[in-house]
Structure formats: C-alpha cells, structure tokens
Amino acid sequence: MNIHTSIENLLSDDARAFLAKPKQMLIGAEWRDAQSGDTFDTIDPASNTLICKVAHAGEADVDMAARVAQQALEGDWARFTPADREAAMRRFADLIEKNSELIGQIESLDSGKPAEHIKFVDVPLSVGAMRYNAGFPSKIQGDTLPVTAPDMHVYTRREPIGVVGAIVPWNFPICQACFKLAPALAAGCTVILKPAEQTPLSALILGELALEAGIPAGVINILPGHGETTGQAIVDHPGIHKIAFTGSEPVGKMIAARGAAHLKHVSLELGGKNPNIIFADSDIETAAATAAMAIFFYSGQVCTAGSRLLVEEKVYDRVAEIVLQEAGKVAVGHGLQPTTTMGPLVSAEQLERVSSYVDTARAEGVEVSYGGNRCGGDLSGGHFLEPTVLSNVPDDSRVAREEIFGPVLAMQSFKDTDDLVRRANATTYGLAAGIWTHDLRKAHRTAAALQAGTVWVNTYNQFDAAAPFGGYKASGYGRDNGMAGIDKYLQTKAVWVNYG
C-alpha cells in the first residue's frame, strides 16, 4: 500500500488488513496468481498514487475458470434445492451488509467516490438486489401445455442458462456486480465476474464473502483484468454461455458483435444522455436543487446522470440561479474525507476526456457559467474537475448530444411540450429521463412520449431491486432488476411425454 499517510489514517483496521493481502483472482475455492504472473496497478484517483497491484487474468485463467464454473454448474450447485439457494443468497446479503464500512472505504479509495455514498446508497442497493432475488428460486416454474396431439403430456422447465460472464463498470462496482450476481445465482447459474480494471478491489471482497456465505466453490469466480484482454477472452470463450455487460456504447457494440459470432446470449446496459425536464408549474426550488445533485453526484460518472437540463423558458433564469448556487455548495475532495460530497474522476484518461468536452464547448461559443477547470491547490495531484454548468447550450453542440460522463451540466430552455419532446428524444440514447410538474396529465403524457427505459416524475435517480432498469436505442437491451432481471438468466425447455 502506497497511499498518503493522512488518507491511510482514515482507514479502518479491516480496510488496512484487506489492503495488506495479495490481490489475486478467485477460481473455485482458490485464490491464485495469474498463470502468466502478470499484474496491473490500481490507482487512488484522488492522489494519483498506487494502491496495490492486482493479478491480471489471461486466456488460460479464463479457460480454467470456465471449466471450474461448468463443473460447479453440474455439481454441488445443481444439487442445491431452491430453499438452499435462497438461504445461501440471504447469508451472502447479510455479509455484504455487515461489511458495508469495509466496502465503502475500499471502493472509495479505488474509485474516488465518497465512502459515505457507497456505505449508505450503493451497499443497500446491492444488499437489496441480493435479498429480492433470493425470493425467486422457489418461484421459478414452468407450465403444463394443452397441446392438440392426443395422449401427450407437455410441460416446460425453466433452467439456468449456464455459465455467465458478468463484465461490470468502474462507476458502481459493488452495485453492478450484485445486480448481475443476484439474478444469476437465483436462476442457478454460475458466474465469472470481471470487475473494471480501474476498480477491481470490491469484487475481491465479494469473492471472499461468497465463500464465507457457503456458496459452493466455482459458482462465483473473480477474474480482474483489462477489457481488451480478460474481457475479450471471456466474451470469446465457448464455455461461457451468456455475457451480461454494463459499460460504454462502443464496447457494448463490440461485445454484441463478438457474442453473435459465438451465438452467445448477450444483455447490455450502456450509456445515456438523459433529459431532466423542469416545467414552470413544478416546485422550482426542489426541482432545480435535485437537478444539480443529478449531475454532480459521483462527479457525473453515472449512466443516468441528468446531464441535459431542459427548462421551460419562463422559469429558466430562476432555475439557473438555483443550480449555480447548488454548484457552489459542492465540497470537492478525497472520497474518504467525511466532508466530501464530490470526489475525483476515476482516472487521468477520464479527466482528460471530460476536460476536452469543456474545451470544445468553449470553442463552440457555449457559455461556461460555473467551473470548467481542473482543481488546484491540495487537489492538483488528483483527477479533480470543478462542478461545471454550461448555459443556453445549442442542440447541435457536442455537449448537448454526446455522453460526457463527468460533472458537466448542459442547460437548455424549451417553449412548449411538443418542442420539448422532439428535442428530448433527439438523441441516440434512451436510458433515463426526469419530469418535474404538478400537472399529472402532463406528467403521464410526457412520460409516455419520452424514449427512455426509466422516467422519474418529481424525483430523480431512484432505484429499487423490484424496478426493472435498462435502456432504449443505443442505451442497450435487456433489463437488470425486477422480475425482468432474472428472465435473461433462464432458458425454457419443453418436455413431451407420450402416455398413450
């Protein structure tokens, strides 16, 4: 461990003990180094310093994990009754909840996200997903079919799809891992989990807790590594039957293409350029303050971030005033500092990418009303960007059309509902949207007209394990959470019995 002493002093004893251990991959019941001996660095983005080195899984490791996962699929895990699976998942959920402080600190150190956010938002969402899906094993059932052929008894079975390759992003590591692990486990699948190379550490904690919960060895395997090596090997391996991916649109398209070549089942949750809409008849104070939180939360590195704020003309100036006030209240700092409300961007590459969008906006003549600069002083060594507000953004500007994935808000005004809907839908994405109005007829009509997988009315960024989540258009296909979430981990078999 090579982090700054002042930050190390904020860590619990459990976090220090975890960091002191070798960071290996989990295959079956064994923690292993990569067969190649390769490792990669994971960096604290707030200080740009090395946290530790992590085993880098290669093709040989993926092949071993696939074989071990298949053995588990056909072995001990297959012999678990639905009640056994439910009990194991509940124990797993309890252990994740019990270790919320450890997970919060380690993931904060690894991602830059405020530890309190992780402890009180991300971990409860993860636990909720595990507990919600734990109710499914005893409710997965087939049907008896009244076919026309005489003397035939025909019924269906819902069976696990097989070995799942779960590839998760760096912005919500623990949540996204559990959103995929939970329904896969409930369905009776086995999983090879590849965390993002920027944030591999909380996945290793999950591996430890899964074994402690009594989930059989080989059911959950953790393979850290880079996308173009480990991830590609998972996508291409013939013994992995499904890919569940959350991440960027370009990578999602590549996975879809490669998955099709191998006839794999693929589900994708990709990016968004999400319209957050404030009508003049809404609670302006609440709507504007929430709109600021919707973009500055986790430095805007959220696929559902309210990155486009569309405001009815007659209240635009008032909303802008409140948003600027809220931007000024953001406390930028290290995620382990208890006063921090916005941490760094996850990497130097991400900081450069987001900063380049602000530079492009300036070059296009867009007004930067607040922020837009890299943070200096004590924060100059990390990947920090000021909360940024762009005003009166034209529809044809890049910052209005493309996903920035940073704390950059594009504010626009609209005249009426028809104008609004046309412009809100004029994007290749369709992940989420927000509507603020006291007129419920207007709310329902607008929600129906918006091309988005999730629409929030008079709130934003609300999630629950019971509510399906996914996108339209370039935001992907398939759903996490809810009853729809488990369907993609099951396949249907028809059985014909001639009893004539």
For residue 181, list its beta bridge partners.
Answer: none
Q: Tell me if 404 sits within 8 A of 384, measured CB to CB.
A: no
> Which residues, in sequence order, are CB contacts of 90 under 8 Å at separation 6+?
130, 131, 134
Tell me the two tokens of residue 400. Answer: 């209005």
Q: Tell me if 182 sits within 8 A of 89, measured CB to CB.
A: yes
Tell me the two tokens of residue 247. Answer: 């991440």
Q: Tell me if 162 sits within 8 A of 73, measured CB to CB.
A: yes
Element (H, E) at 153: strand 152-160
Q: Tell me if 38 sits within 8 A of 58, measured CB to CB.
A: yes
Residue 386 among the catalytic residues = no
Catalytic residue among 52, 175, 178, 303: 303
Catalytic residue among 86, 107, 249, 269: 269
Q: How many Cα atoms within 13 Å fall on the side-chain side of residue 69?
A: 34
Q: Is 117 left (phi over 0), alpha (psi -120 to 50) or beta?
A: alpha
Look at strands 275-278 and 308-312 and give their pairing.
Answer: parallel
- Nearest by Cα to 108 from 36, 35, 174: 174
Burial of 159 (0-12, 13-18, 19+ CB in 10 A): middle
Number of H helices, E strands in the chain: 19, 22
d(CA 487, CA 128): 18
Residue 52 among the catalytic residues = no
Tell me the two tokens of residue 460. Answer: 């934003």
- Nearest by Cα to 52 from 192, 204, 176: 204
Give how far Cα 151 sits from Cα of 11, 254, 493, Å: 69, 48, 20
Residue 385: DSSP 8-state: B
Q: Tell me if 133 sits within 8 A of 186, measured CB to CB.
A: yes
The catalytic site residues sit at: 269, 303
